[in-house]
Structure 1
Amino acid sequence: MKKILIAIITVVFFSCGNDPVPKPKAFLRLEYPEANYDKALTDLPFTFEKNILATKISSNQIESDTESYGVTLEYPALKGTIFLTYKTITTHENLIAFLKDAQNFTQKHTIKADEIIEQIYENDIRKVYGMFYEVGGNAASQSQFYVTDSVKHFLTGSLYFYAKPNYDSILPAANYLQKDIKHIMETVEWK
């Protein structure tokens, strides 16, 4: 019994001392290469520049009432994908429906999003007009956009990651790919 008491006193004596100090928060520092862009070589009704970090680009025709295409830009190093959807406008009603769909798609993320920041985009020279949405929080898609010439062409895009959305974890990659999405918007040219 005496040995047990001495052991307990020894543990208590040596465990006393400096107050515990919490470790400072540490953040993983992720560095990505500087973005280099080249023209995406596709047979689509539009052209754009893509980051060479997007190692796989694929496109396919989508069955629809109007001429439609789906384009996928994969970023395996960032575990993310940018999805583009092109639709041909045939009537004014098409345009209105496409605009509503694009805006409603973004608003569906308000359940998980902390905020949605809208940025208008206009380029009168190339006739490209649209909106970029930055979605903050644990939403499934961190960035979305649409652009149109309001007459014949309509293009939407969204960013998704392969992992469950955890805003703090994907923020560096999301910021990097947001710049790519903006670059796609800024370099779209209709054929």
Structure 2
Amino acid sequence: MLYSNKFHFRLKTSRGLVMLLITAMLGLLGFWVNGYFKQGNLSKGNHLPAQHYQPLKSGFPYQFEYSIHAHLLPATSRHTMDYWVNLYYPDFDATIYLSYQSVTDNQALLNDWCKNASALAFQHQVKASSIEESIIQTPKGHQAHVIELFGEVATPFQFYTTDGKKHFLRAALYFKTASQNDALAPVIAYIKKDMIHMLNTLEWKA
């Protein structure tokens, strides 16, 4: 009888361990599946939503159109300043961080912000296989510095722009984890198109 009780105890213990392992495996499977649909499957270009845009709400010194698939959120950095916001893409677990600075009649301040914007991008040159910086002209006549980073980096695309007198705006796309650009190429191209649309529809407010 004692042997039988020990046998049942061991059997129950073994079953408990098996159930624990199964639960853990299911949890990992759920995490993997969630990641697959968020980045793995979407990174292959599957199920990318149609691109449509909406105007930024009033009250900002800048206006542009941004993706209807992005959530406008307040910036949470401890360095946050007025009119800083984040555009979060839940489908891709990616965020565009927008930082604004008023530089009215202060050329030295404007120069500092431009230098800092470029320096922030080039901080990633340790992991980036290459970094390309170019200047583009928007349909509304604005100039913008566009920075593309390649390789295993968390931020593949950034830009900054200014009217040269009053306003400065920087945008940086970040994914939660650094990844080879090739793995997320369709998603990067998708959000990059959204960011270019932001630039092309950008207007400064007095």
TM-score scaled to structure 2, two decimals? 0.71
Deviation for aligned residue 1:179: 0.8
Deviation for aligned residue 1:30: 2.5
Number of residue pairs aligned between Structure 1 and Structure 2:
161
Change (3 A) 1:45 1:140: same
**Match among 165, 187, 196 for residue 173 of structure 1:** 187
1:47 aligned to 2:66? no
State the AA in 2 paired with 1:95: L
**Match among 110, 113, 121 for residue 95 of structure 1:** 110
1:105 aligned to 2:112? no
CA-to-aligned-CA distance 1:21-45 (integer Å, 9 cap, x gap): xxxxxx9453412211111114110
| 2:154–2:176 CA contact under 8 A, matched in 1 | no
CA-to-aligned-CA distance 1:74-121 (integer Å, 9 cap, x gap): 100011111100100031101110110011111111111112222312
Q: Which moved more, 1:165-174 or 1:128-137?
A: 165-174
| 1:129–1:147 CA contact under 8 A, matched in 2 | yes
| 1:62–1:68 CA contact under 8 A, matched in 2 | no
- Rounded to whole Å, the distance in 2 between the matches of 1:140 and 1:63 is 20
Who wins on radius of gyration, i.e. which is larger? 1
- 2:4 counterpart residue number: none
After TM superposition, the runs of 4+ consecutive aligned structure 1 residues lying more than 4 A away are 60-64
- 1:184 counterpart residue number: 198
- 1:157 counterpart residue number: 171
TM-score scaled to structure 1, two decimals? 0.76
1:120 aligned to 2:117? no
- Rounded to whole Å, the distance in 2 between the matches of 1:152 and 1:104 is 22
More strand by share: 1
State the AA in 2 paired with 1:36: H
More helix by share: 2
Q: Kindly, what percent of the aligned residue pairs are identical?
A: 32
- Rounded to whole Å, the distance in 2 between the matches of 1:115 and 1:145 is 16
- Rounded to whole Å, the distance in 2 between the matches of 1:177 and 1:131 is 17
- Rounded to whole Å, the distance in 1 between the matches of 2:156 and 2:76 is 25
What is the RMSD of the two structures over their aligned residues, measured on CA atoms?
2.3
Deviation for aligned residue 1:169: 2.4
Question: Structure 1: where are the runs of 5+ without partners?
Answer: 1-26
Question: Structure 2: where are the runs of 5+ without partners?
Answer: 1-42
State the AA in 1 paired with 2:66: K
- 1:21 counterpart residue number: none
Q: Secondary structure at the match of 1:155?
A: strand
Alignment of 1:22-33 (within 5 A): 28-33=44-49
State the AA in 1 paired with 2:128: A
